[in-house]
Structure 1
Amino acid sequence: MTNSFSPDELIVIRGRGRVSALGQSLDTFGTSSPFTTRQTGLHSLPIAALPPEAEAALQELRRSQTAYRQLDRTVLLGLLASRQATSAAGWDNARPVSPDPREAEISVSMGSSRGATGRLEEFHAEFLREGSVPVAASPLTTLGNVASWVAYDAGSTGGANLSHSSTCSSAFQALGNAMAWLRAGMTTRFLAGGTEAPLTDFTLAQMQAIGIYSPFAAQDFPCRPGAGKPSTFVLGEGAAVFALEKVFAASLAEQPRNQVAVLEGVGFGFEAIGSKTGLSVDGKHFQQAMRQALGQSGCALHEVDAVVLHSPGTPAGDAAERAALRAVFGEALPLLLSNKWLIGHTLGASAALSLDFALHVLETQQWPRPPFPTDLSVPSGARPLRRILVNAAGFGGNAASVIVSLR
């Protein structure tokens, strides 16, 4: 697919916010493992939970409004990241005065694989115990509950609020939808991203049952993408949200060079296979998604300086993504990076947190080195990074890729 969009119109990221096992900032990466241990059933499992300062911010948010005290943790994580993105974009200070109501509204597009996991489990347990559930059980556990509360918190009264679930590529599905609305002129500003709070006993038991969970201790960086066998999947929680606008390319000439993040392309890939937890050995859906994103971007292969991998730490999944990369780029691959060894796999939020990591790398030209043997690349200093491709994939044979650059 070639780029059918006007080169005069660009989708820019005005601001972004995040929360994960690294907290709410990526300014420093610690040398110690951010993972902790959770006892669930018969198993003691490593997890990537929020650190104390981020947890305190989340609880303060929960207490800030009576209505927020009943919200699922997934929703609250989305609110926390969205507030940071809105503030960074300057959208919380003043809204433009315009006769067109679209100019004054913030639309929302949020991805989440599991949605209101914690509250759903709580309501179900209450039903088994009491034989009934509260009136609020249904509206608080629908997937649409995620985006609608983010829109409410952002002060949007008439903008779109859309929730997406496509397993672990959900955040990029949300991002792609936001891009389409912006390019079509259906709105002017979008909060888009992903959020997930899956660290419940039942969800952890599900991941353990699949047989992919890491055997390594929490203090030993248990999630190890690209390290081969054994499987080192570790579940994490978090959210990342981006404030998007459509601008004319000429307007970027007024900005300092390499200060404006441009979302160049969002591509999708799908393959129907018998195993809903697996993928083809050559990653056909990865190939399709990357080629579509590259086509939208209009960049040549050699202009992609790095790839932030989906790479969940499962040997089969990691190998399929590498095979797809070789099919698209040939044997001379770009730098291969990952953030999952620092924050675990956050399911529907993982793609958004990977994009946030890619932007951090572009801005700082630095990234941490994994303290274990892996096929991830190490800093070479050979050339500056200007453009990064980010991959995501999920159960059911879906994949998505995003290309982002600094201009």
Structure 2
Amino acid sequence: MTGPDPRPGHLSPMMTLVFAVVCGVTVANIYYAQSLAGPIARDLRVPPQWAGAIVTLTQLGYGAGLFFLVSLGDIIENRRLTLMLTAGLVLSLAGVLTSTSPGVFLLSSFAVGVCSVGSQVLVPLATWLSPPAMRGRVIGNIMGGLITGIMLARPLASFLAGHFGWRAVFAVSDGLMIATFALLWRVLPVRHPHPRMGYGPLLVSTLRLLVVSRTLRRRMTYQGVLFGVFNMFWTGVPLMLHDRFGLSQQAIAAFALAGAGGALSAPFAGRLADRGHTRLVTGMAMCVAMLSWAVSGWAASAGAMGVLVIAAITLDTAVQANQVVSQRVVYSLSDDARGRLNAAYMTVIFMGGAAGSTLGAWTYFHGGWGLTSLTGAGLVLVSLLLYMTELRSSGMEQPKRI
């Protein structure tokens, strides 16, 4: 079955829901191991000095896939590319599930990261299928599903591993991805791009976009900082919750589940972007993120758990809102280069997130949550100052062919 014929400017609410769910269950695979590094290392007898690789290799694979595979959406038929990546993810998860040695597990984990970028092929495809006036809303709805998958991955992994062992997490995920492949095979439309270059020039063109597009550079800087401090928070806060409040792993998972409420902001932010309020949303997102960090610092020292939960939700809300409006701007820069634009944008965003994870652990171990919250607020302030220079410019870069 080849899927229905696509029509540019037409994406039904049901297909939007399908895209959102598929993106959520796909991207969740990057984050399961963050809650399972300890049990996996013990079971597979991974040396302590290599335990961090359980998480890092999946993330490195995702970063490699973002740069080397997502841009293929501009030259390869999108349905085929998405199905190939989904099939690769099914096989990679099976490798993780059945691995009995550290080498096989780590290699399979890297492949899981690479193949999880199928979600980033679907987002540009959704914008192609959407009318221009509704692209922000569509991106918001899909990103809401994607972020929900990210936020639910950790508590779900903790729950399943606590009751059935760590392999149960990957067994459930593999089953979900098999069902996802069957669903996409049935409903995903065919979209033939009009390639004007080969693979090598395609990668060079992806890098060139960083040079020629000032708007792309600004948007990836804003979101790179926000996603970085987002990862700082969710790397450091479990450590702080255990040390300061004495929470168990299950209670920390419940805290993370509460933070998933921030994903609800994505559809609303998309609607505001469609109405021309992109800059307003960006400015508000930065201010809210900075305030959230300040409040979280006070809440931790005062022992105010309820306030800390609110700070987590508002920080997530700010990060997701800016992601939606930024993607709408980036995808509007060129109709023919959305795959490359997304590859360049998301690669840099992911690098910011990875740096934030490292910084979150470093600041907490060297200065406690006070240093972590101060660093997070300071980074957002620097980004806000950069954003204020944009307000003095004549306007956003207009869409153009690249």
Query: Which TM-score applies when normalising by structure 2?
Result: 0.32
* Structure (1/2) with the larger helix percentage: 2
Q: TM-score, normalised by structure 1?
A: 0.31
Which structure shows the bigger proportion of residues in strand conformation?
1
